[in-house]
Amino acid sequence: MEQMRLDLEKQKLALEAEKVRLDKERLEVEALRVRPTVLPSPSPSRVSGSPPVPASHRPSVPVEVLRAEEEAARRADDAAKAERDAMASKLAKLKQAEMDAKRAADVTRSTLSSALESKRSEFGRAQQDLEALKKERRKLDVCFVMDATGSMGSWINAVAEKVVEISETLMHQLGAKWQIRLALVAYRDHCDKDRLETCQFTSNPQEISVFARGLKATGGGDTPEDVLGGLDQALTLSWESFCRCIIWFGDAPCHGKQYHSCDDSYPDGDPKGLTPG
């Protein structure tokens, strides 16, 4: 836009200079029209002091010459007028073009300003979304899944303490920047009355500690246990966080002779149709 304005100014100055030139030519033509006819000087051979030549004997300018000069002057006036009119038309067009350019520049500035404001708003929203996403990704859900059958009798207290230790460590190291939730699922076997015991997700590690320390190692028929039932129960909990983790504690495999060579009451696999895959 600035370059367009400079170009218009240059054209305007050029037209002004042309106008000055035409005015000068017009003045010169008018000067010719009013210039008196110069009579020829007396012959040098004339004797000084001789009487002047009578006016009737002086040479006159032919009428044709005068008419030609008048016609030339008229044509020059017409040409000058045409040039002035053309120049005035060009000046009017230049002024109109300048006004159009100014309006276009105003529209462009307004459009750019609106677009810039829109982009700023979009950028602000994007920053808010990014911060929300970062905050969302700083959440962690951890579920402990542990065997609570009789074979774990000598280990269940150690497992419970390890669950408490891990929970407290997570809260201590990440709790300031992360939102951490903990859950625990204890499983036994299909023949047991209390086959599954669950502590739902909580952000209070003390709830996990009390629940884990209150578990009793009991039940369990054959060597394999309901491992898949415990994992399936964990998957049904109210998971929310972007980062999800299951920590499993156990001393026996799941049902299904294809996974082990132990004595198994369900050699064909889990009676509920669950599979590791």
pLDDT of residue 36: 53
Residue 86's pLDDT band (boundaries 50, 70, 90)? confident
pLDDT of residue 47: 47
d(CA 101, CA 86): 22
Look at 6-10, 51-55, 132-136, 221-225 and tell me which has the smallest mean pLDDT.
51-55
The per-residue pLDDT of the chain, averaged, comes to 84
Residue 165's pLDDT band (boundaries 50, 70, 90)? very high
d(CA 86, CA 14): 13
d(CA 186, CA 230): 7
CB 80 within 8 A of CB 22: yes
With pLDDT > 90 as the criterion, what percentage of the chain qualifies? 38
Parallel/antiparallel/unpaired status of strands 196-202 and 179-187: antiparallel
Q: Which long-range contacts (C-beta less than 8 Å, at least 24 apart) are formed by 130-136?
A: 136/242
User: Per-residue pLDDT for 49 more than 70?
Assistant: no
d(CA 82, CA 99): 26
Burial 154-163 (b: 16+ CB within 10 A, else e): ebbeebbebb
